[in-house]
Structure 1
Amino acid sequence: MDSFIGIRFKKETAKRFQEFSRTHFKSHTEAMATMLDFFFYNEISPKEKFGPTGRTMEANLMKRMNAIIAIQRDIEKTQTKPTVAMLESLFKTEGSTTTPLILEKKFSENNRAIGFEEKRNTTNEP
């Protein structure tokens, strides 16, 4: 069996470590060994900063998204809507046209009745 050694920690640090160790590992020794291995294998120092956290990155993304939305709304107000209004005014026909087209609608509807009909047998009718 392995022997144990006592290491002196401040009370608050020891309690934090014990709580962390209980939630993630079976024993305090396993927790400490895993943490040391992590730092050793990844060649990092516990004092290093890894950069922005997920929260700060999310906040920055939300700011940029809000800025993009504001830009899109401004483009819509200043460019898209006036352009659409100008195009509509160009294509809008003013006044009523009373002259009929070359092919009147009434004439084309009357001739619609002609089509395929069932052939009646006229020889056997009484």
Structure 2
Amino acid sequence: MDKGYENERFESLSIKTSVARKFRSYCKAISKSQSMSLLHMVDFFELNGVSPEDNLGETITSLKRQITKRSNAVIAIIKNIEKMHHRPTTAILQSLFEETAQIEKEGEDGFDFGTPALITENEELAYYRKEYYNTREAYRDLGEETKGLLKKIKYVRNNFGMGHYRLNATEADLKRLQQKLDHVHHYNTTETGR
């Protein structure tokens, strides 16, 4: 008796004689009842999402061989990448490290940067104070220029639509202001005056 199905009644199916003989011999080969064999087959197809008409290859063993071949191909590709890409890159990096070590060794022997000129705390304080006052003066000049520009702005009321603001300035005034804004970084000049 089939476990779990003892109380169910039997139902007959109409199938061809040759198919019934083949199915019965298959059930004897796997030592299962016809009901359980059919149930396991249907479960297999539903669980794996395949149709009885699908061809999975010759056997499961052939699938294993195909998977093994593909795995070997992937391993070969990885080894090729290692050989063609990683080893040359590693060699380049190794040569760079060796050059750097050699340059550092030469630097210990041949390069002398001299001793830096030390300045006193008062000199440093005077330098930063001067730069602070120069920056403050430049900021004040820019503020005055902006105020002068704002005084030249006039609101013009439009009869049709929104009003707008008009700047009453000459082209020379605008060029001077633009030049001043473009060269803001020139307030801090270098020792050569550039």
Q: TM-score category by the smaller chain?
A: 0.3 to 0.5
**Scaled by the length of structure 1, what TM-score is found?**
0.44
Larger Rg: 2
Which structure shows the higher helix fraction? Answer: 2
Give the number of the structure with larger relative contact order, counting CA–CA contacts within 8 Å between residues 6 or more apart: 2
**Scaled by the length of structure 2, what TM-score is found?**
0.33
